[in-house]
Structure 1
Amino acid sequence: MRPGYLALPSGQVHLRQAGAGSPVLLLHDAPGCAGGWDPELIETIAGRRWVIAPDLIGFGGTTVDDGAAGDLDAQADMLAAALTLLGVRRTPVAAEGAGAAVAARLAARHPGLVHGFLVLHVPYGGAERPPAPSAPDGSGGHLLRLYDEVRDSFVFSPWWRPSARNRRSRGLPSAEVLHALFLETADHGDAHRRLASSAAEAWPGVAGLSGMAVAGDDWAADILALPEGDVVAEPAKSESGERDYVEVSTGVVHVRRFGAQSSGRRPVLMLHANPGSGSGLEPLARALGETRTVLVWDTPGHGRSTPLPGTAADAPTLAGTYVPLLVELLDAQGIETCDVYGTHTGAAMAVELAVAAPDRVGALVLDGVPLFDDQPELVASVMENYFVDLTPDTHGSHLRRAWGASADMALWWPWFNHTPEGVRDVDAYRPEFLHRVVLDMLRSAPHYHRYYRAAWQWPCTERLPLVKRPVLVGSTLTDPLAPMTPVALRLLRDATEATFAPLGAPGSPEANAVLLARYLDGIA
Structure 2
Amino acid sequence: MAQQMILRGFVNTPKGQIHYAEAGQGEPVLLLHQTPRSWTEYREVLPILGQRYRAIAMDTVGFGDSYRTSEKASIEHYAAGVIDFLDAMEIKRTSLVGHHTGGAIAVELAATWPQRVNKLILSSCPYTDEEDREIRKTRPPIDDVAFSPDGSHLIELWNKRRAFYPQDRPDLIASFVLDALTVLDRIEEGHNAVNRYKMEEKTRLITAPTLIMTGTEDPASYPRMEPLSKAIRGSVSVEVKGGMVPMPEQMPEVFSQCVIDFLG
Q: TM-score, normalised by structure 2?
A: 0.87
Matched, 1:497 2:253: no
| Matched residue type, 1:255 | Y
Is 1:517 aligned to 2:252, yes or no?
no
Equivalent position to 2:97, from 336, 341, 345: 341
Q: How far apart, CA to CA, are the structure 1 residues paired with 2:143 and 2:43?
A: 26
Match of 1:291 in 2: 52
The separation in 2 between residues aligned to 1:306 and 1:326, in whole angstroms, is 12
Shift of 1:436: 1.4
Question: Deviation at 1:299?
Answer: 1.2
Residue 514 of structure 1 aligns to a residue whose secondary structure is helix
Q: 1:435-474 residue pairs with structure 2 within 5 A?
A: 435-474=174-213
Report the CA distance shift for 1:511/1:323 in structure 2 as closer, same or farther (over 3 A): same
Aligned to 1:248: 13
Residue in 2 that maps onto 1:332: 88
Q: Which residue of 2 aligns with 1:370?
A: 126
Q: Aligned letter for 1:407?
A: R
In 2 relative to 1, CA 409–479 (structure 1 residues): closer, same or farther, beyond 3 Å? closer
Deviation of 1:358 (Å): 0.7
2:114 is equivalent to residue 358 of structure 1? yes
Higher relative contact order (CA 8 A, sep 6+): 2
Aligned equivalent of 2:136, options 373, 379, 384: 379
1:435 Cα deviation from its structure 2 partner:
1.3
The CA deviation at 1:390 is 5.0
Within-5 A mapping of 1:270-281: 270-281=31-42
Q: Closer, same or farther in 2 for the Cα pair 1:279/1:355, shift >3 Å?
A: same
Give, in whole Å, the separation in 2 of the partners of 1:400 and 1:518: 39
Closer, same or farther: CA 443–460 of 1 in aligned 2, 3 Å: same
What's the secondary structure of 1:466's corresponding residue? coil
Ranges of 4+ aligned residues in structure 1 off by more than 6 Å? none
Query: What's the TM-score, normalizing by structure 1?
Result: 0.46
Percent sequence identity is 26
Report the Cα offset of residue 429 of structure 1.
5.9
Of 479-488 and 369-378, more deviation after overlay is shown by: 369-378
1:244 aligned counterpart, secondary structure: strand
Instruction: Say if 2:126 is the partner of 1:402.
Output: no
| Kept in 1: contact 2:11–2:88 (CA 8 A) | yes
Whether the aligned pair in 2 keeps the contact of 1:388 and 1:401 (CA below 8 Å) is no
Given that 1:390 and 1:401 are in contact with CA atoms closer than 8 Å, whether structure 2 keeps it comes out as no
CA contact (8 A) 1:390 1:442 kept: no
Letter paired with 2:13: V
The answer as to whether partners of 1:344 and 1:367 remain within 8 angstroms in 2 is: yes
Size of the alignment, in residue pairs?
253
**How far, CA to CA, are the matches of 1:370 and 1:467 in structure 2?**
16
Larger radius of gyration: 1
Runs of 5+ unmatched residues, structure 1:
1-10, 12-240, 411-426
- Residues 356 and 307 of structure 1: is their aligned pair in 2 closer, same or farther, counting only changes over 3 Å? same
Q: What is the RMSD computed on CA atoms of the aligned residues?
A: 2.1
